[in-house]
Amino acid sequence: MQGLMMDYPLTIPAILHRADTIYGHKPIITRLPDKSIHRYTYSAMALRSRKLSAALQKLGILKGDRVATLSWNHYQHLETYFAVPSIGAVLHTLNLRLSPDDLSYIITHAEDKVIIVDQVLLPLYDKFKSKIKIDHLIVIPQTGQPIPEGALDYEKLISSADEKMFVPFNGDEHTAAAMCYTSGTTGNPKGVLYSHRSVVLHSMASSFADGLGLKESDTMLPVVPMFHVNAWGLPFTCTLLGTAQVLPGPYLDAVSLLDLLEKENVTITAGVPTIWLGILNELDTHPGKYKLSSLRMMVVGGAAAPRSMIVGFEERHGLNVLHAWGMTETSPVGSISFLAKELQNQPKETQYNYRAKQGLPACFVEVRGRNENGLIRWDGETMGELEVRGPWVARSYYNSTDMDDRFTEDGWFKTGDIVTIEANGYIEIKDRSKDVIKSGGEWISSVSLEGAIMGHPAVAEAAVFAIPDAKWQERPMACVVLKPGKSATHDEIIRFLEPQYTKIQLPDKIEFVTEIPKTSVGKFKKSALRELYKHMGS
């Protein structure tokens, strides 16, 4: 028997409609490329978004067509977030930090019909434009310079459009709404295709008091880019709630951000750890310079938040850091490290330990861990690869079959993260699955050993990785860079580690080197290290 409730599809136009009717007066604030501040309201945004929808339809964009953006965080980008899905088309945000080759591959793979580009990003666009085929280039004018020949002017498109010419999409909520490509370190980038339903449910979960606790009276500054995983869905969540948005444009340095956080009385902000480390450093260097009394929460995700950073913000500056975990494939919010009731009376040190973990799964995100022995116990000790499923988790990649090993036969997504899970549900990432060392049935965390070795006073850097072993399958090895003028021996480092580790977990080999190979974003190139040192195995 079916229920007798209304068939009300969960769609992105329904989010915009709500903001327009209830929160029309609330502000959206942007720092423009010339550093001036642009202000308008949700009503104005909704009207311009509808005009853009009408203009895109007039350009021949049909349901299911992909419309790409190459943009910083600003109000016009926000307009595309609603205009494109509102005609049933798919918003494809391009990550402007990818290489021109990756970008042209992605645009070609997604078969984008239109690209909307920031005028200040045309130099990047020029690097791959000869390799792609699109119907229309739309340029958002920003510099006062003329836009390129053959391109359409975003503002002229809007001013000449008749918003009454289109009816917002109101069909099947499983329709594709947005698309992001992951920047996987191996193989080609893979596209994740979000649906209206997944975006709406993810926004609802982000509105939970136990989630980010975002609310109408907040002012949100998303540092996390709108060109990557939809800025963690915040443009949608803020619009659903009528939360004031402060969009930083291209200025993501600590001083510019702090200026905006202070002047606009921002209450909540979100970004990756490197951003916050820069901000913490600026605050430490200039105590008392910035007045951040409005700021109630800094959300950190995209990479593990160092415990010392969480402590530093709280103890030195009275700022509250909330750690969250997710991936492009999980929309992205997968878990949030809020303090459960049982932890609220624990000592500060215990609380920091939990707040630095990846936290509790978001509602309806189910989690489990798996190793060679099957599903792991939730004992906080046994390591396994984290598998997730839920209403905003990808079930496959767009037009791709070679990554089917990322999904289990019973329909869970394999995150590639090696975790422990505690009995109370708290998840902690220990390593990436390709980096964990599988030694005689035990898994050894390379990340943990690296942290421990780098605790030695003579060590500047340490990378730990697996080398093959006939008996144990794999054994850990470390490459160590010593601090200038310092010295340490293999035995000294092993003795330094011994109190924290069992014998089987200690590295078999330690190589002292002058430099460890790194990726473009500063991570250790562990695949290169494994290849380089595989002869050291036995």
Task: Name residues contacting a second copy, limited to 69-128 (CB under 8 A).
Answer: 90
Give, rounded to a whole angstrom, the gap between the first and last alpha carbons of the chain.
Answer: 64
Span 253-312, contacts to a second copy by CB under 8 A: none
Decide whether 426 or 524 has the Cβ nearer to a second copy: 426
Q: Decide if 182 is catalytic.
A: yes
Decide whether 21 or 373 has the Cβ nearer to a second copy: 21
Span 218-237, contacts to a second copy by CB under 8 A: none
Span 148-207, contacts to a second copy by CB under 8 A: 172, 174-177, 192-198, 201, 204-205, 207
CB of 138 to a second copy, least distance (A): 21
CB of 211 to a second copy, least distance (A): 8
Q: Decide if 378 is catalytic.
A: no
Decide whether 120 or 363 has the Cβ nearer to a second copy: 363
When binding is defined by CB under 8 A, the residue of 187, 411, 440, 441 that contacts a second copy is: 411
Q: Are 438 and 432 in contact (CB under 8 A)?
A: no
- Distance (Å, rounded) from C-alpha 213 to C-alpha 206? 7
Using the rule CB under 8 A, give the single segment among 146-154, 212-220, 281-289, 458-466 that binds a second copy.
212-220
CB of 178 to a second copy, least distance (A): 8
Q: In the structure encoding, which two tokens stand for residue 481, read together?
A: 């860079």
- Which stretches within 293-370 are classed as H helix? 307-317, 348-355
- What residue type is assigned to position 374 of the chain? G
Binding mask 336-375 for a second copy (x = CB under 8 A): --xxxxx-x---------------xx-xx-x---------
298: phi then psi, degrees, rounded to nearest 5 = -115, 115
Q: Decide if 443 is catalytic.
A: yes
- Distance (Å, rounded) from C-alpha 425 to C-alpha 506? 29
- 232, 325, 392, 443: which one is catalytic? 443
Q: In the structure encoding, which two tokens stand for residue 213, read together?
A: 């606790």
What single DSSP character describes residue 486? -
When binding is defined by CB under 8 A, the residue of 34, 126, 162, 210 that contacts a second copy is: 210
CB of 422 to a second copy, least distance (A): 10
Residues 6+ apart with CB under 8 A from 443: 371, 383, 384, 418, 430, 431, 436, 437
Residue recorded with tokens 């079930």: 395
Report the candidate in 94, 83, 323, 88 with the shortest Cα–Cα distance to residue 229.
94
Q: Decide if 438 is catalytic.
A: yes
- 30, 182, 267, 330: which one is catalytic? 182
Decide whether 213 or 278 has the Cβ nearer to a second copy: 213
- 438, 461, 511, 525: which one is catalytic? 438
- 173, 264, 329, 387: which one is catalytic? 329
Residue 374: strand pairing partners = 371
Residue 466: strand pairing partners = 476
- DSSP conformation letters of 494-522: HHHHGGGS-GGGS-SEEEE-S---B-TTS
How crowded is the C-beta side of 54, counted as CA atoms within 13 Å? 18
Query: Could you tell me the CA-to-CA distances from 479 to 152, 192, 446 in Å, in that order?
Result: 53, 36, 12
Decide whether 172 or 531 has the Cβ nearer to a second copy: 172
CB of 397 to a second copy, least distance (A): 7
CB of 396 to a second copy, least distance (A): 5
Binding mask 7-36 for a second copy (x = CB under 8 A): xx-x---x--xx--xxx-xx----------
* Binding of residue 217 to a second copy (CB under 8 A): yes
When binding is defined by CB under 8 A, the residue of 100, 141, 184, 391 that contacts a second copy is: 391
- Distance (Å, rounded) from C-alpha 410 to C-alpha 481? 44
- The residue length of the chain stands at 538
Return the active site residues: 182, 329, 438, 443
